[in-house]
C-alpha cells in the first residue's frame, strides 16, 4: 500500500491550483468550525459562570415554596436554618459536609426608589461582602467607590440603576420596601460604590447591601432567602448530594428545604446541553458543504483519469486498491486543509478570546433574567483545534469515498476505451 500512498501524494501535484482550491475550501470550513466552537464554548462557559455566581451556586438551598414564589421575591418562605435556629448555624453544619468549600448567604428582596414623581423598581441583595467577593470577585466590577462593609448603612448600586434613579456615589438614597409582615417601610443608605459589569441584571436592577442591614430593615434576623454551596468541581457538584441529604435528614425536621444542583435543576442549562449537541451536527454540516468542492474536484479527477484507472486495473490493481488510492488523495487534501484551518482558526479564536465580540445591539430586547453577557469571548483550547482537525479529516475522508467508489467501480474495458 506504500506505493499507492506515494502515488496519491504525487497525484496531488498534477493540478496544484485545483488541489489548493479544494484545500482552501476545507480550511475555510475548519476555520469556521474552530471559531464557532470556541465562540459557543465561550458563551456557554460565561453563561454557566454567571448562572453559578448570581443564581445557583453549585448547589442552592431554598425553601420548597420559595421556588414557586421566587419571581415575586417573596420573603415569606425564607431560610431560617435547621428548625428555626438561624442560618449561621446551618452554614457551619453545611461546611462540615465533605466537598463543601464555601457557603454564600443571600437575602433577596424587591424595593423601589422614587425619582421625581415616578418609582424605579429594583432588587436588593443582602450579602456577606467577604464571602461574596471571594466567590464572585464582585469588587473587581466596582468602577467607582468601594464595596459595602458589614454593619454599615450603605449600598453599592449598578451603573444603569444609578442613572435611572439619578444618583451618584456619595449620595444618599431612600429605599422603599415591604417587610414579610406586610409593612411598607423606607430606609436611607449611603451609596458607596458604583458597579459595572457586562450583565444587564447587575447593572440595571440590583443593589448590594450588607446582609445584617438587609435583615435589620426587613425584620428578618437570622434569615436569608437562599444559601449557595460551592464545591471544588462544579461538574461534580451532584456528588456531594448524599452527604447533604444525610445532614438534612438528621438536622431538618421540617423537610421544607430543597437542594438545587446548578446543571440539573434549571431548564435553561438543560437547553444548553441540547444546543451543544445540535451544534455538533451544524459543524459536520459546515464541513460537508466544503466537501462538495472537494468531491466535485475528485469526480473531475476520476473522469479525467479514466484511462489511467483502466490501465491500473489492467496491471492488476483491485477495486479496493483503486478506492484506497482516490480516497487517500482526498484525505491528504483533507489533512492539509484541516491543518491549515485548525491553525488559522486557532489564531482567530485566540484573538477574539482577548478582544471579544460585541453583541450588545442584538441582545437589547432580551430578558435580563438570561445570564448572557453582551460581549462574547471565545475560548481558545488545543482540544478544540485537535477536535476540529480530526473531525475535518474524518468527514472529508468519508465524503471522498463517493468519487473513489466511482473510480473503483469502473469496468477496466470501458475505462480503457475512454478517449
Partner 1 sequence: MSLLELKGVKKIYQQGKIKVPALRGVDLIVEQGEFSTIFGPSGSGKTTLLNMIGCLDTPTEGEIRLNGNKVSDLSRKALAMTRRFNIGFVFQSYNLIPVLTAYENVEFAIRLIDHTSELKVKERVLKILEEVGLKGLENRRPNELSGGESQRVAIARALVKEPKLVLADEPTANLDSKNAADVVKIMVKMNKELGTTFIFSTHDPMVMEYAHRYINLKDGMISADERRG
Q: Which residues bind partner 1 (CB under 8 A)?
A: 2-3, 7, 10-11, 13-14, 307-308, 310-311, 313-320, 411-413, 416
**Minimum distance, C-beta of residue 263 to partner 1, in the bound complex (Å):** 54
Task: Identify the sign of the CA torsion 350, 351, 355, 357.
Answer: negative
Burial class (CB within 10 angstroms; exposed 0-12, middle 13-18, buried 19+) of 223: buried
Distance (Å) of CA 241 to CA 17, 98, 367:
61, 10, 32
- Residue 115 or 307: the one with the smaller Cβ distance to partner 1 is 307
Nearer to partner 1, 10 or 264 (CB): 10
Closer CB to partner 1, residue 15 or residue 190? 15
Shortest distance, CB of residue 331 to partner 1, whole angstroms?
A: 18
> What is the closest distance, in whole angstroms, from the C-beta atom of residue 349 to partner 1 in the complex?
37
Closest approach of Cβ 324 to partner 1, in Å?
Answer: 13
CA distances from 111 to 70, 253, 265 (A): 15, 33, 28
Kindly list the distances between the CA atom of residue 259 and the CA atoms of 58, 61, 82, 97, 271, in Å, as whole numbers in the listed order. Answer: 10, 5, 14, 14, 20
- Of 13 and 96, nearer to partner 1 (C-beta) is 13
Q: How far apart are CA 236 and CA 306, in angstroms?
A: 58
Q: By three-state DSSP, how is residue 106 classified?
A: strand
Which residues face 226 on adjacent strands? 106
Whichever of 236 and 307 has its CB closer to partner 1, that residue is 307
Using CA atoms, how far residue 154 sits from 60, 102, 106, 188, 280, in Å, is 27, 25, 16, 8, 48
Our CB check for partner 1 shows the closer of 3 and 281 to be 3
Q: Which residues contact 45 (CB under 8 A, 6 or more apart)?
A: 379
Instruction: Determine phi and psi for 35, rounding to 5 degrees.
Output: -65, -45
Q: Shortest gap between Cβ of 29 and partner 1 (angstroms)?
A: 27
Least distance (Å) between residue 416 CB and partner 1: 7
The residue (of 71 and 320) whose beta carbon lies closer to partner 1 is 320
Smallest distance, partner 1 to C-beta of residue 4, A: 9
Amino acid at each position: 500500500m506504500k506505493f499507492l500512498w506515494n502515488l496519491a501524494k504525487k497525484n496531488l501535484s498534477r493540478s496544484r491550483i485545483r488541489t489548493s482550491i479544494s484545500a482552501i475550501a476545507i480550511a475555510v470550513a475548519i476555520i469556521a468550525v474552530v471559531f464557532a466552537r470556541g465562540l459557543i464554548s465561550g458563551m456557554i462557559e460565561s453563561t454557566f459562570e454567571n448562572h453559578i455566581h448570581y443564581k445557583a451556586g453549585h448547589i442552592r438551598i431554598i425553601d420548597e415554596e420559595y421556588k414557586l414564589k421566587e419571581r415575586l421575591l417573596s420573603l415569606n418562605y425564607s431560610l431560617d436554618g435547621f428548625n428555626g435556629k438561624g442560618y449561621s448555624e446551618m452554614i457551619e453544619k453545611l461546611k462540615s459536609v465533605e466537598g463543601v468549600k464555601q457557603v454564600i448567604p443571600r437575602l433577596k428582596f424587591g424595593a423601589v426608589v422614587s425619582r421625581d414623581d415616578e418609582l424605579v423598581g429594583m432588587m436588593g441583595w443582602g450579602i456577606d461582602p467577604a464571602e461574596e467577593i471571594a466567590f464572585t470577585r464582585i469588587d473587581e466590577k466596582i468602577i467607582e467607590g468601594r464595596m459595602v462593609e458589614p454593619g454599615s448603612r450603605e449600598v453599592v448600586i449598578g451603573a444603569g440603576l444609578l442613572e435611572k434613579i439619578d444618583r451618584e456615589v456619595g449620595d444618599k438614597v431612600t429605599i422603599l420596601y415591604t417587610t414579610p409582615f406586610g409593612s411598607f417601610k423606607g430606609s436611607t443608605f449611603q451609596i458607596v460604590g458604583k458597579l459595572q459589569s457586562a450583565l444587564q441584571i447587575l447593572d440595571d436592577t440590583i443593589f448590594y447591601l450588607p446582609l445584617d442591614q438587609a435583615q435589620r430593615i426587613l425584620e428578618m434576623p437570622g434569615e436569608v432567602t437562599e444559601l449557595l454551596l460551592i464545591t471544588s468541581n462544579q461538574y461534580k457538584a451532584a456528588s456531594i448530594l448524599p452527604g447533604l441529604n444525610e445532614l438534612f435528614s438528621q438536622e431538618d425536621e421540617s423537610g421544607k428545604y430543597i437542594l438545587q444542583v446548578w446543571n440539573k435543576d434549571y431548564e435553561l442549562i438543560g437547553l444548553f446541553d441540547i444546543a451543544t449537541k445540535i451544534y455538533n451536527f451544524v459543524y459536520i454540516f459546515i464541513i460537508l458543504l466544503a466537501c462538495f468542492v472537494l468531491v466535485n474536484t475528485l469526480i473531475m479527477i476520476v473522469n479525467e483519469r479514466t484511462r489511467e484507472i483502466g490501465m491500473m486495473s489492467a496491471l492488476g490493481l483491485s477495486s479496493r486498491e483503486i478506492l484506497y488510492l482516490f480516497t487517500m488523495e482526498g484525505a491528504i487534501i483533507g489533512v492539509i486543509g484541516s491543518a491549515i484551518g485548525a491553525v488559522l482558526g486557532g489564531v482567530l479564536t485566540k484573538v477574539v478570546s482577548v478582544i471579544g465580540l460585541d453583541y450588545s445591539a442584538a441582545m437589547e430586547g432580551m430578558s435580563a433574567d438570561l445570564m448572557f453577557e453582551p460581549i462574547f469571548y471565545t475560548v481558545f483550547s488545543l482540544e478544540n483545534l485537535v477536535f476540529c482537525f480530526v473531525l475535518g479529516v474524518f468527514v472529508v475522508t468519508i465524503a471522498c469515498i463517493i468519487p473513489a467508489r466511482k473510480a473503483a467501480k469502473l469496468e477496466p474495458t470501458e475505462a480503457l476505451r475512454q478517449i
